[in-house]
């Protein structure tokens, strides 16, 4: 068992320190690099906090889409992509909704606003 | 790249020769930001003799340590730049090309330094830059029309292949090949490409196309446009593809409402284009190319991330570029809902 604070909480505090205490002291060149570091930490933190429920829902949706068409390939995502290119999902509303679900999930981590 | 005294001396000797000068002294070398695919260095020189005599400022442009496979060589880019400069497109004046690897280890060319800001997000935000924004949009349209006035064949540009089929089908094939060369799978991009196969535009004339004509790739100051940059992806293609790339939402930065590159309205940009161009604007084709623009940009972000992931060029900036993907994918989905598929 790990001790507290957890890694995600440490990341939050590290970001706060960088923003409040380090960033105001920096030149424009080092500021750019520090902003990138902050962005990376922010993203990693949100990734660590991501909802397992959302991920399960996406995986289940993928399983249904691929099983519905064919079960040739073990990798469902590869199989789905091949199926799209081959025309098995042309203008499919089901696929479109699943793609939106997946992108919305990823956007929560990369573009939460 | 110009790290040793020996390299600097070699460069000075070469500049002396190409500038027909009596003496060249490089007084300062500074790396310039903004080139993710190429490296740009500012050279300040004291020159005695010849037509360049005096204090001069140049840009030395060379390949980055790891490039993107579809870009032109520096020699080819130099020839394209020379061609568009000759027809009056606002670009930095191309001066000298060096293919000799003995000199700096990589091919490079020299162009005259043009002042200004190119950073897309800053340009979009800082309204004091670029002069009147409507006039800037008009000017950018007119400049693009000048580029599109160049049609094949052109002496010196034989290395650019003329498409046998429609540039749109060639582009779809290219993007599929690029996707296949990645070791990850991207169903949204496959969806977008399949949509594109259903929505091919009408065949158009073939012209020179910049293929990276967007906010972020031109220099402006308080008065207006100073130079169009980054010609490494140029080739023969459908002129509507450049319009689609320029107007694509992914290149509007913090101003998605300003459809012409986050600068102004689409109408201002189109007016400048139509005033100068012999081409009309095919709105459906532009829409097609805007979808393609997002797919192309998505694949570039994946390639950029791979440069980091492969260890070829470790960089946090490249690594973070890979995580731009979801917002681009979202834009692709917004443009390609099932209702927009033409003949499915």
DSSP category for residue B264: B
Interface predicted TM-score (ipTM): 0.90
Residue-by-residue DSSP string for A74-108: S-HHHHHHHHHHHTTTTT-HHHHHHHHHHHHHHHH
Which residue bears the tokens 């995600």?
A8
How much is the pLDDT for B68? 55
Taking CA–CA distances from B198, the nearest residue in chain A reads A90
Residues B329 and B203 in one domain: yes
Residues B262 and B135 in one domain: yes
Beta strand segments in chain B, E: 23-32, 38-48, 54-63, 94-98, 108-112, 207-209, 218-220, 225-228, 235-237
Are the C-beta atoms of B38 and B232 separated by less than 8 Å? yes
Residues B100 and B169 in one domain: no
List the structure tokens of A85: 């290119």
Residues B78 and B226 in one domain: no
Range of lowest pLDDT (B85-89, B209-213, B279-283) = B279-283
Residues B100 and B232 in one domain: no
Residues B90 and B223 in one domain: no
Residues B89 and B146 in one domain: no
Beta strand segments in B141-237, E: 207-209, 218-220, 225-228, 235-237
- Chain center to CA of B183: 26
How much is the pLDDT for B69? 58
Residues B33 and B157 in one domain: no
Residues 6+ apart with CB under 8 A from B85: B91, B93, B94
DSSP category for residue B64: -
What tens digit of pLDDT does each residue of B123-172 get?
A: 999 999 998 999 999 999 999 999 999 999 999 999 999 988 889 999 99
More confident residue, B142 or B36: B142
How much is the pLDDT for B163? 87
How much is the pLDDT for B70? 62
Size of interface A-B (CB pairs under 8 A): 76
Which residue bears the tokens 């025309």?
A87
Nearest to B200 by CA among B101, B320, B295, B285: B285
Residues B14 and B78 in one domain: yes
What tens digit of pLDDT does each residue of A34-90 get?
A: 999 999 999 999 998 888 888 899 999 999 998 765 555 558 999 999 999 999 999
CA distance linking residue B144 with residue B228, whole number of Å: 10
Which strand (E) or helix (H) includes residue B149?
A: none
Q: Of B112, B141, B170, which residue constitutes the final position of a domain?
A: B112
Residues B207 and B276 in one domain: yes
Measured in angstroms, the CA of B9 and the nearest CA of chain A are apart by 29
| pLDDT tier, B56 (very low <50, low <70, confident <90, very high otherwise) | very high
Chain B positions touching A33 (Cβ under 8 A) are 316
Which residue range forms the structural domain that includes residue B32? 5-112
B337 contacts A36? CB cut-off 8 A? no
For residue B34, pLDDT over 70 is answered with: no
Q: Give me the CATH number covering residue B311.
A: 3.90.1200.10
Are the C-beta atoms of A62 and A77 separated by less than 8 Å? yes
Number of domains chain B is built from: 2
**Residue in B180, B182, B189, B190 to test binding to A, most A beta-carbons within 10 Å:** B190
Residues B84 and B128 in one domain: no
Q: What's the pTM value of the predicted model, to 2 decimals?
A: 0.90
CA distance linking residue B328 with residue B325, whole number of Å: 5
| pLDDT tier, B277 (very low <50, low <70, confident <90, very high otherwise) | confident
Residues B193 and B258 in one domain: yes
Which residue bears the tokens 């002042």?
B115
Of A40, A96, A103, the CB nearest to B316: A40
Q: Of B70, B94, B112, which residue constitutes the final position of a domain?
A: B112
Query: Across chain B, which distance is largest between two alpha carbons, in Å?
Result: 69
Q: Go through chain A and tell me how many residues it has.
A: 113
Q: Go through chain B and tell me how many residues it has.
A: 344
How much is the pLDDT for B6? 87
Chain B positions touching A103 (Cβ under 8 A) are 188, 326, 329-330, 333
Radius of gyration of chain A measured on its C-alpha atoms: 20
List the structure tokens of A26: 């920096």
Q: Of B112, B141, B175, which residue constitutes the final position of a domain?
A: B112
């Amino acid at each position: 068992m790990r001790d507290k604070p957890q890694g995600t909480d440490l990341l939050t505090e590290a970001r706060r320190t960088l923003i409040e205490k380090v960033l105001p002291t920096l030149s424009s060149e080092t500021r750019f690099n520090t902003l990138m570091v902050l962005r990376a930490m922010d993203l990693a933190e949100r990734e660590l906090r991501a909802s397992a429920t959302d991920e399960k829902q996406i995986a289940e949706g993928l399983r249904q889409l691929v099983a519905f068409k064919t079960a040739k390939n073990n990798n469902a995502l590869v199989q789905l992509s091949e199926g799209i290119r081959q025309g098995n999902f042309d203008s499919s509303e089901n696929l479109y909704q699943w793609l939106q679900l997946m992108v919305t999930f990823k956007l929560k981590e990369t573009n939460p606003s | 790249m110009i790290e040793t005294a020996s390299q600097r001396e070699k460069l000075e000797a070469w500049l002396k020769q190409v500038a027909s000068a009596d003496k060249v002294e490089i007084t300062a070398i500074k790396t310039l930001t903004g080139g993710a695919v190429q490296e740009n260095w500012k050279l300040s020189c004291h020159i005695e003799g010849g037509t360049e005599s005096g204090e001069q400022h140049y840009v030395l442009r060379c390949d980055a340590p790891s490039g993107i496979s579809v870009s032109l060589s520096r020699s080819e880019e130099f020839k394209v730049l020379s061609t568009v400069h000759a027809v009056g497109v606002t670009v930095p004046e191309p001066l000298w090309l060096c293919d000799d690897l003995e000199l700096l280890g990589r091919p490079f060319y020299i162009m005259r330094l043009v002042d200004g800001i190119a950073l897309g997000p800053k340009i979009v935000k800082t309204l004091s830059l670029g002069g009147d924004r409507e006039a800037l949009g008009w000017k950018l349209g007119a400049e693009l029309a000048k580029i599109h006035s160049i049609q094949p064949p052109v002496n010196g540009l034989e290395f650019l292949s003329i498409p046998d089929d429609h540039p749109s089908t060639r582009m779809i094939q290219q993007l599929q090949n690029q996707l296949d060369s990645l070791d990850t799978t991207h169903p949204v991009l496959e969806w977008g490409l399949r949509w594109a196969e259903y929505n091919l535009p009408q065949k158009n004339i073939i012209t020179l196309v910049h293929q990276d004509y967007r906010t972020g790739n031109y220099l402006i100051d308080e008065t207006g446009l100073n130079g169009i940059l980054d010609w490494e992806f140029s080739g023969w293609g459908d002129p509507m593809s450049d319009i689609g790339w320029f107007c694509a939402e992914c290149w509007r930065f913090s101003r998605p409402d300003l459809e012409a590159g986050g600068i102004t309205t689409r109408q201002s940009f189109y007016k400048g284009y139509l005033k100068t161009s012999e081409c009309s604007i095919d709105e459906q084709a532009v829409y097609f190319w805007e979808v393609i623009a997002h797919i192309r940009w998505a694949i570039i972000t994946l390639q950029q991330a791979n440069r980091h992931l492969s260890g070829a060029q470790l960089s946090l900036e490249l690594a973070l570029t890979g995580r731009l993907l979801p917002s681009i994918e979202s834009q692709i989905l917004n443009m390609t809902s099932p209702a927009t598929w033409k003949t499915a």
